[in-house]
Homo-oligomer: A and B are copies of this chain.
């Protein structure tokens, strides 16, 4: 199956190297292909780490082990396997992950618990240990590669390589953040897996790094949806090498912490939106902003109810400012709402206010907005001050074609 580049794709950005981070990729042959499919990232001694993982009750061994190891807050290496998710593979899958950790630990001289592994691709097939072993052996001495090479090597059916970067001034020093992510492209019987990796040369205490990642996750990665499905392997890891030489950031009271947090959050937001831009069959990027909700969390839930509604997503695909479907999605969210204070708009134009269609409604500006590639939906609940923005894409025949018509 030949996947066309998403019409919402962005060019890969010019991203700075991060001191203390070395990227390498090799072909381990997880599938019968020539492309690089094993990415090995070596991190300097002293690198701190934080992570968020899928909430699936059926996670992969990679996620189970990663969740354990991240508690120590330290990392020396990351290995990403593409082409095989190694999920639902029982003890054989776990052995393959432990083998990779042991081999890297021996190769660079570190504790196996500081090696993080992710896998993405077909499920139900144990990761082949022989291929992994030969791949890791080659990766340990492979030449360094670029961010874009690594972004391509971690991808499966993504239609474009995804990277994001930002800088901040911390204690008078310029610190950099460079990050790559793979998104929700998938081919039967593969599963959507979002794998994101954020690297910075700032010195950041691991507990504070985890706090920042949790905060940003709640407003970025947890605010996107393509089709409401959640993978068994979703993972975002953040690594801070400390090579920039700043005094470690331990809390928001640390000098420069605000600037770092803003840059970190901006990178997370960019990464999350890139995933939506590569949603299967996506023709339009949809940003849904909910205001006036009972709380920010309530606003997020209402936003996701709208973003996950097939009826709303198909209406946007059909360029139809169908506010009735938005009312429906607000109503079913299970959150406080009042029909008679509810207002709904598209592209900054209200279609309904306080529970009734706008008098003398002019659909023309909404229709023009819906013809564009970046759509906004505004929902005011009219109850309180809670707000959130979530992102999704439209639902088109392309989604059906990728997920139904194509057979494994």
Q: Say yes or no for A331: interface residue by CB 8 A criterion.
A: yes
Whether the pair A311, B407 counts as a contact (CB closer than 8 A) is no
What is the distance, in angstroms, from A60's C-beta to the closest C-beta of chain B?
Answer: 9
Count of interface residues, chain A, beta-carbon cutoff 8 Å:
71
Q: Contact check: which of B186, B400, B408 meets A396 at CB < 8 Å?
A: B400
Q: Say yes or no for A405: interface residue by CB 8 A criterion.
A: yes
Query: Closest B-chain residue to A332, C-beta based?
Result: B230
Q: What are the residues of chain B within 8 A of A337 when measuring CB–CB?
A: 57-58
Whether the pair A404, B317 counts as a contact (CB closer than 8 A) is yes
> How far does the alpha carbon of A318 sit from the alpha carbon of B1 in the complex, in Å?
15
Whether the pair A399, B314 counts as a contact (CB closer than 8 A) is yes
Contact with B along A290-326 (1 / 0, CB 8 A): 0000000000000000001111001101111011110
Whether the pair A310, B57 counts as a contact (CB closer than 8 A) is no
Q: Say yes or no for A229: interface residue by CB 8 A criterion.
A: yes
Point out which of A228, A336, A394 has the most chain B C-beta atoms below 10 A from its C-beta. A228
Contact with B along A387-408 (1 / 0, CB 8 A): 0000000111101100111111
Interface of A (DSSP majority class): loop
> How far does the alpha carbon of A132 sit from the alpha carbon of B297 in the complex, in Å?
42
Q: What are the residues of chain B within 8 A of A310 when measuring CB–CB?
A: 227-229, 310, 395, 399, 403
Whether the pair A188, B57 counts as a contact (CB closer than 8 A) is no
Q: What are the residues of chain B within 8 A of A143 when measuring CB–CB?
A: none
> How far does the alpha carbon of A87 sit from the alpha carbon of B324 in the complex, in Å?
9
Q: What are the residues of chain B within 8 A of A140 when measuring CB–CB?
A: none
Whether the pair B124, A330 counts as a contact (CB closer than 8 A) is no
Point out which of A229, A327, A328, A329 has the most chain B C-beta atoms below 10 A from its C-beta. A328
Given contacts A318-B406, A339-B88, A352-B88, contact A328 B56 (CB under 8 A): yes
> How far does the alpha carbon of A357 sit from the alpha carbon of B231 in the complex, in Å?
18
> How far does the alpha carbon of A338 sit from the alpha carbon of B230 in the complex, in Å?
16
Whether the pair B400, A325 counts as a contact (CB closer than 8 A) is no
Q: What are the residues of chain B within 8 A of A352 when measuring CB–CB?
A: 88, 124
Whether the pair B88, A336 counts as a contact (CB closer than 8 A) is no
Q: Say yes or no for A372: interface residue by CB 8 A criterion.
A: no
Contact with B along A352-371 (1 / 0, CB 8 A): 10011100000000000000
Whether the pair A308, B228 counts as a contact (CB closer than 8 A) is yes
Whether the pair A324, B229 counts as a contact (CB closer than 8 A) is no
Q: Contact check: which of B55, B90, B189, B308 meets A340 at CB < 8 Å?
A: B90
Whether the pair A57, B90 counts as a contact (CB closer than 8 A) is no
Q: Say yes or no for A273: interface residue by CB 8 A criterion.
A: no
Query: Closest B-chain residue to A328, C-beta based?
Result: B191
> How far does the alpha carbon of A400 sit from the alpha carbon of B124 in the complex, in Å?
31
What is the distance, in angstroms, from A89's C-beta to the closest C-beta of chain B?
Answer: 7
List 29 A-B residue pairs with CB atoms under 8 Å apart, sorted by A's residue number. A56-B328, A57-B335, A57-B339, A58-B337, A59-B331, A87-B324, A88-B324, A88-B327, A88-B355, A90-B355, A122-B324, A124-B324, A124-B352, A124-B356, A125-B357, A188-B315, A188-B320, A189-B315, A189-B323, A190-B324, A228-B228, A228-B308, A228-B310, A229-B328, A229-B329, A232-B327, A310-B399, A311-B403, A397-B397
14 further A-B pairs in the complex, CB-CB below 8 A; given A311-B403, A314-B403? A57-B332, A57-B333, A57-B339, A90-B356, A124-B323, A188-B315, A192-B311, A227-B311, A231-B328, A232-B327, A310-B395, A318-B404, A318-B406, A320-B407
Interface residues of A (CB under 8 A from B): 54-59, 87-90, 122-125, 186, 188-192, 227-232, 308-311, 314-315, 317-320, 322-325, 327-340, 342, 352, 355-357, 394-397, 399-400, 403-408
